[in-house]
Amino acid sequence: MHLESGEDQQGTVGPPSQSTGVLSDIRCFFLNKPARPTLIQFRTEAERQDYSERIMQRIGIDVSDYVIMNLHKIGINAPVRYVFEELLKWNGDSTCWPNHLAQVERIDGRLESIRLHLCGWRKYPFGFRRGIFGLKFIPLFNLNAKRFQRVPPASDCDNARYLLYECSGGYPIGIFSMYARSSIAEQQETEATQVFLAVGFNFYGKESLSRTKLVNRSWEWIHDRVTANVMNRFKQLCEWRFNQIQDGRE
């Protein structure tokens, strides 16, 4: 489905525009400064660890298994059940993902097993057979479902739903999770839903690289910029579609 950004006839902000190619992905997801920062900032490492553990304990992951844990968060003005249904639609047609840079392939059409291919490459370019400079990036990474919670338990007070994957391949090995819950007024959250994107990773499985400050900071900058743009686009798409439903236009 081709979606154009902008405003409709009633002045409502429209959905994010469809990417047209690799250069478009670079402009929209790397160079563009997102309207809302999403990376959760912490004053101390202890505060970061505590916050990470409170989220990870909900999905059964030990944060100490990963050298770096990045947590992003954005509020969305739509019910959590609706937002989670949008997460389940993630595929190669999504306007919220850099599909030309990281092409999505659902194995057998299932969300439980996903491959992402750098620029759509299924084999190494320029005659390379086993990676380039020792780095293997085909596939860019594999996502294999570890646990999905599509319906919150009866005892759950914040309607939490999530997708949790084990991640391997050229992308740093670790876990990838998309987590949605109802907002908590005591935490000054004003939108109906809060969405978290959590990534725990080591650099290509090499502990020495993950301790290198330059590599660490460079990778985090790239990851955080792309993630913030993805989440801002997801917010825009969810709110636009939900407004369409409420107005009876979809």
pTM: 0.83
The span from the CA of 193 to the CA of 162, in Å, is 13
What percentage of the chain exceeds 90 in pLDDT?
38
Residue-wise over 46-79: b if at least 16 C-beta within 10 A, else e? eebeebbeebbebbebebeebbbbbbbbbebebb
The span from the CA of 99 to the CA of 41, in Å, is 28
Where are the chain's structural domains? 22-246
**In degrees, to the nearest 5, what angle opens at C-alpha 63 toward C-alphas 61 and 66?**
110
**What does the pLDDT read at residue 37?**
93
**What does the pLDDT read at residue 207?**
47
The hierarchical CATH code for the domain 22-246 is: 3.30.530.20
**What does the pLDDT read at residue 239?**
95
**What does the pLDDT read at residue 7?**
44
For residue 115, report the phi and psi dihedrals to the nearest 5 degrees: -120, 145
Q: Considering only CA atoms, which of 70, 36, 25, 32 is closest in space to residue 167?
A: 70
**What does the pLDDT read at residue 62?**
73
Residue listed under structure tokens 């969300």: 111
* Cβ neighbour number for residue 172 with a 10 Å cutoff: 23
Give pLDDT < 50 ranges for the chain: 1-12, 133, 204-207, 210
**What does the pLDDT read at residue 240?**
93
Average of per-residue pLDDT values in the chain: 80
Q: What is the pLDDT of residues 71-81, one digit of tens each?
A: 899 999 999 99
Rg (CA), the chain: 18
**What does the pLDDT read at residue 98?**
92
